Structures are given as C-alpha cells and as structure tokens.
Amino acid sequence: MAKRFYDTNYFSDPFILSLKSNEKLLYFYFITICDHAGVFEINEILGNFHLNCKNYSEQVKNFIKTHPDKIKRLNINTCILMNFCKRQYPKGVNSAVMQIKGAMAILEKWNIEIINKETFTLRVKNTYKEL
C-alpha cells in the first residue's frame, strides 16, 4: 500500500478553495487512488462505492472538462493528475528517491514528457479524445 504525505496547506491552495465540495472530495480521491506517478484507472464500481455516488465516471468526465489543466485522460479508462509529481516530489527529478525512478518509468510508458526537471512539470503528448 502506498503512503501519501499531504501538504498541510492543501485546503488553503487557491485551486482547492475554488472547488465545490463534491469536486474537493473527488480531487482528493484521485490523489489517494493514483500510483506514484499520478496515474489512475477509472473504476465505476469502486468510485461509486468509495464516494457514495451513482455516476463516478460522469463526475470524472465533468471534472476533466472543467479543469483540463489539472487532469488529463490518457485512454478511455486512465487519467493522470498533472501536478501530482510536482507536489509529491518537490525536489524534482534529480532527487535520489527510488520512487522517482519508478514514476519516471511510468511517465515514459505513457509517453508523457517532463518539460521542467526541477519542478516536475509534465506535458501529455497524446491525450485521449472522447468521441
């Protein structure tokens, strides 16, 4: 099981402050279910169960449309949190932390470019476009 560290100023972040209550919960849920590179699978059954809702996939879709700079869809069932690595690894890719090497391998697998190694800023080259 992955351990996550949360910034004590998380709920003071201007982006988080701008979210509606259900969006705050959804975004926090994304952070808890993603891998160490910020990638997660959309699982309708688990999402509905964990969030006590009936339309998890629709909520994810709406969140992506509303906040396209925060989350990108990689394929029909996979997304990435664009700021996850930046927050999780504040020293950038040059740190000796082993998880960073694993995260970089995941990003490479998905053809995601690291455009700033100090801040772990990412660019998704091929986002999934829904029909």
State the pLDDT at residue 130. Answer: 67
State the pLDDT at residue 2. Answer: 67
Summarised one tens digit per residue, pLDDT across range 38-73 is 999 999 999 999 999 999 999 999 999 999 999 999
The 3-class SS string of the chain reads CCCCCCCCCHHHCHHHHHCCHHHHHHHHHHHHHCCCCCEEECCHHHHHHHHCCCCHHHHHHHHHHHCCCCEEEEECCEEEECCHHHHHCCCCCCCCCHHHHHHHHHHHHCCEEEEECCCCEEEECCCCCCC
Model pTM score: 0.90
Average pLDDT over residues 25-49: 95
Summarised one tens digit per residue, pLDDT across range 76-116 is 999 999 999 988 888 888 777 788 999 999 999 999 999 99
